[in-house]
Amino acid sequence: MAFSVSTPDILGERQYGQDVRTQNVVACQSVANIVKTSLGPVGLDKMLVDDIGDVTITNDGATILKMLEVEHPAAKVLVELAELQDREVGDGTTSVVIVAAELLKRANDLVRNKIHPTSIISGYRLAMREACKYVEEKLAVKVEKLGKDSLVNCAKTSMSSKLIAGDSDFFANLVVDAVQAVKMTNARGEIRYPIKGINILKAHGKSARESYLLNGYALNTGRAAQGMPVRVAPARIACLDFNLQKTKMQMGVQVLVSDPRELEKIRQREADMTKERIEKILKAGANVILTTKGIDDMALKYFVGAGAIAVRRVRKEDMRHVAKATGATMVSTFADMEGEETFESSFLGVADEVVEERIADDDVVMIKGTKNTSAVSLILRGANDFMLDEMDRALHDALSIVKRTLESNTVVAGGGAVESALSVYLEYLATTLGSREQLAIAEFAESLLIIPKVLAVNAAKDATELVAKLRAYHHTAQMKADKKHLSSMGLDLVKGTVRNNLEAGVIEPAMSKVKIIQFATEAAITILRIDDMIKLVKDESQGEE
């Protein structure tokens, strides 16, 4: 019998056995229930209001969970799981949480039926390996067969559950162009798509369909002074990480002056030092100066005089991307090894031109034709902040998915097709095993069906009937060699029927599915292994001392 006790030696509460398991499962279930309704092309959005009244409207699983303040330790594992999926793949955050919670729930039922957690864990691990192998060998289709359309379709599938689903044709093409624009080959000769080089700028006004792609990296600030030129070509860019203002004495330095005329000289010298620094930068050939800190008016006049563009208060993140794209070095001090102040021309980055343009009502500095990787910017238009933020999140997911598709080159059918196929396959696999793991694998197979079920429920369709049809198709596909094409049957959630999703263009990168299965299983196992929880009580006596 399991119960919660407080022992005299431990300051706190100890829960063990079935109690903890049930509690963990309930906590994870409640987290999954929050994101459950946002899955799929007809998923609903969540409105989150934080403690200072900021509103976020989203249906991106990772964003929802990040904004919730989760107390329960087991539920925190799921939140971290969604973040991991977001980092690794970029999409599929909702699915991964739902699958993990379902695996846990079913494992808990098995434990209640006197099956040891260790057997369940080894069964789950085996099922995970087999499932991933099956996806890669049998279900994945090479992208070469499908061409550019497949990329657009992947992007559309990723956006289908988001706010911009109505304009997914338009945005999918935008996303594919953006990802292909930043294509580069790294030192090992592998082709990579650094989507961090795609800057997303949000500007109010106009409709979402008037968003567009700009060739060049856009900084969300204007020139520091009106007297500066609007365009510089070719640009030599200096990236600085310090203030360009009148040099002040260091803290704690005291200067005793007996003659008042000396004071003026000190002031003059302070001004001259800044002037010398700026001259060094200009002499090195820089005609665009970006700094993360400020530039005071006295320093600006030198830049205006030299006909250079200076931009202050650039975000650190933007600065890193600009430095990488142009081949510049971020400079945080002038001092060199000898203690002299120098500025090498090798620190400068190169770009074809730097222009200031007006987008919506804001001035933006565009860096075009960068040397190393080409940088592009997506300019999003939309009615209000909530809409723009949600578009930003949707595009982030779509960009990641297109990147993964290009890098891994394999896709699978979406709409519950993979999960149903795996479920049928694993159920058959379970019956071939004569060990205890058989039950765990059978439950794993059942758990995967949660995805098509939730998709159908969210679409207000009859889930039981649709999932039964799906399983019948997949069973036929796996049993009869001439019916292989049926393995890409998935749900059509608008009409409420079953269709071939590869042909219908509902596709996802195979890697996304594999990662979802791996991460969800790992998270479920982590929580399943817990059978004892000790919560320490805060010791009040220490505070009084």
Q: Which of 60, 86, 318, 492 is catalytic?
A: 60
Q: How far apart are CA 237 and CA 346, in angstroms?
A: 11
Residue type, 308: A
Token couple for 346: 């090798």
H/E/C letters for each residue in 305-333? Answer: HHCCEEECCCCHHHHHHHHHHHCCCEECC
**153 three-state secondary structure:** helix
Residue type, 269: R
Token couple for 86: 């977001």
Token couple for 381: 């238009």
397 is catalytic: yes
326 is catalytic: no
Query: What is the sign, positive or negative, of the torsion defined by CA atoms of 269, 273, 276, 278?
Result: negative
93 is catalytic: yes
Token couple for 432: 């071939």
Instruction: Using the structure block, give the residue that is written with the tokens 């700009």.
Output: 214
Q: How far apart are CA 87 and CA 84, in angstroms?
A: 5
Q: How far apart are CA 190 and CA 177, in angstroms?
A: 20
Task: Write down the number of H helices and E strands in the chain.
Answer: 18, 22
Q: How far apart are CA 234 and CA 214, in angstroms?
A: 19
Q: What does the angle CA 37 – CA 69 – CA 54 come to, to the nearest 5 degrees? A: 80
Q: Answer left, alpha or beta for residue 271, where phi above 0 means left and psi between -120 and 50 means alpha.
A: alpha
Distance of CA 73 to the CA centre of its chain: 23
| Helix extents (H) in 135-215 | 148-159, 168-181
Q: Which of 58, 63, 93, 326 is catalytic?
A: 93
Q: How far apart are CA 130 and CA 518, in angstroms?
A: 11
Cβ neighbours for 531, distance < 8 A, ≥ 6 positions apart: 16, 17, 20, 21, 117
**3 three-state secondary structure:** coil
94 is catalytic: yes
Q: Which of 56, 58, 63, 94 is catalytic?
A: 94
Q: How far apart are CA 373 and CA 193, in angstroms?
A: 10
Instruction: Using the structure block, give the residue that is written with the tokens 């955050």.
Output: 93
Q: Which of 45, 86, 318, 397 is catalytic?
A: 397
Q: Looking at the chain, how many residues does it have?
A: 545
Token couple for 483: 């019916």
Token couple for 286: 């820089």
Residues annotated catalytic, as ranges: 60, 93-94, 397
